[in-house]
Amino acid sequence: MPQPVRGAGLFIALTTPQTWLPRAGSLHAHAIDALLRSSLFLLFVFCVLAQVMLVAGLLPRREQNPRFSRIWRWIATGAIVVLFVWMTITAEHLWSTVRLTRAEANAVPVEVTGVQFQWYFRYPGTDGVYGKTKPELIDAAGGNPLGLDPSDPNSQDDVVSSVLMLPVDQQVDLRLRAQDVVHGFFVPGMRVMQNATPGRVSEIHMTPNHVGDYAILCSQVCGLGHYRMHAVLRVVSTQQFSAWMAQREAAQTAR
């Protein structure tokens, strides 16, 4: 039976995300892991410091110079403020690189749609333009879960899939939408989590850099079937991706 992790062992396990996070599969993942590691380390140091100060405060002591203790209070408060501002700026900067900056021009465009309780992925096809969708045309049982408008020529070559297929080492430009309620597009292996909200499009981009399968989950409790709302992100070589796309497009136009 494995021994429970205690003390220093627990600290090392907590501050080493590789031991409890899934394998990192995207370019920005290591920066997020490093931020998590440094935040956990700082919190650990502060937790120990707080306990030491608590115990020190309980011990009997000599009368202190009030000016001296006031200066120390200011220094401690100032240090904590500086630390938290630094942590916030670092985290915001990292977030903005995934969320706010524009995707590269050659990024693979994919539209992600959350529906109770399923994820759908749409590729714009050879024309590079997403076709029109109409809510009244939504018919999951009839093979049109996104309500693609067949009268729009741009929608003819759109490829809709329940697996998110992506080429390795190429940036992907994701547009997140939801049909009914708020869903959370969560890919732990890519260190990506972004809500998909009805009535708006949320854009994020990332670059998968390891071939393999990654779990896609829903991080918002979106209804009774929330627990089974998952899909697979499959990162493959560029050749495999092109072959898959050609095959899907051929099937689409044959219909």
Q: Does 229 bind Cu ion (CB under 5 A)?
A: yes
Nearest by Cα to 214 from 22, 18, 17: 22
For Cu ion, the closer of residues 113 and 207 by Cβ is 113
DSSP-assigned beta bridge partners for residue 165: 234
- Nearest 5°: the CA angle 62, 68, 70 is 110
Which residue from 176, 192, 222, 236 is in contact with Cu ion, where contact means CB under 5 A? 222
User: C-alpha 7: how far from its chain's center?
Assistant: 31
Q: Does 177 bind Cu ion (CB under 5 A)?
A: no
Q: Does 216 bind Cu ion (CB under 5 A)?
A: no
Greatest CA separation for the chain:
89
User: What 3-state DSSP class applies to 146?
Assistant: coil
For residue 247, the minimal CB distance to Cu ion (Å) is 29
For Cu ion, the closer of residues 103 and 218 by Cβ is 218
Q: Does 183 bind Cu ion (CB under 5 A)?
A: yes
For residue 115, the minimal CB distance to Cu ion (Å) is 8
For residue 121, the minimal CB distance to Cu ion (Å) is 15
Nearest by Cα to 202 from 215, 220, 214, 189: 220
Alpha-helical (H) ranges within the chain are 7-14, 29-58, 66-99, 238-254
For Cu ion, the closer of residues 218 and 231 by Cβ is 218
Roughly what angle, to the nearest 10 degrees, separates helices 7-14 and 29-58?
140
For Cu ion, the closer of residues 160 and 218 by Cβ is 218
Q: Does 218 bind Cu ion (CB under 5 A)?
A: yes
Stretch that binds Cu ion, among 17-25, 38-46, 87-95, 218-226 (CB under 5 A): 218-226
Nearest by Cα to 130 from 159, 161, 172: 159
For residue 178, the minimal CB distance to Cu ion (Å) is 8
Neighbours of 112 (CB within 10 A): 22
Stretch that binds Cu ion, among 42-50, 138-146, 157-165, 180-188 (CB under 5 A): 180-188
Q: Does 175 bind Cu ion (CB under 5 A)?
A: no
Binding letters toward Cu ion, positions 143-172, x by CB under 5 A:
------------------------------
User: C-alpha 50: how far from its chain's center?
Assistant: 33
Q: Does 115 bind Cu ion (CB under 5 A)?
A: no
For residue 220, the minimal CB distance to Cu ion (Å) is 6
Using an 8 Å Cβ cutoff, are 179 and 112 in contact?
no
Cα–Cα distance measured from residue 39 to residue 42, given in angstroms and rounded to the nearest whole number: 5
Stretch that binds Cu ion, among 81-89, 136-144, 183-191, 206-214 (CB under 5 A): 183-191
Name the residue type at position 205.
Answer: H
For residue 206, the minimal CB distance to Cu ion (Å) is 20
Chain residues that interact with Cu ion, rule: CB under 5 A:
183, 218, 222, 229
